[in-house]
Amino acid sequence: IRSYVLQPYQLVKDLRTGVENTSPSSVLDGDLDEFMEASLSHRIEGGAGEAVADLD
């Protein structure tokens, strides 16, 4: 699950892993490598059912 904020600032945040990217245009264009790596790492570590607390 990812949260996309385009206004008033730009941020894409994966709510499961906590990974953030400040370039939503690149993510929307398909640059998902960091999100996929974090998701796979999160699953390997056994956190598949846990969500990251949103501190924002």
In a domain, 40, yes or no: yes
**Helix, strand, coil percent content, the chain, rounded in steps of 5:** 30, 20, 50
In a domain, 49, yes or no: no
The pLDDT of residue 53 is 62
Residue 35 one-letter amino acid: F
The pLDDT of residue 46 is 82
In a domain, 12, yes or no: yes
In a domain, 34, yes or no: yes
Dig out the tokens for 26 from the structure: 């690149």
Domain that holds residue 8: 2-44
Side-chain-side CA neighbours of residue 53 (13 Å): 1
pLDDT in tens, the chain (56 residues): 899 999 999 999 999 999 999 999 999 999 999 999 999 999 998 865 555 666 55
The secondary structure element, H or E, covering residue 39 is: helix 33-44
The number of domains in the chain is 1
pTM equals: 0.75
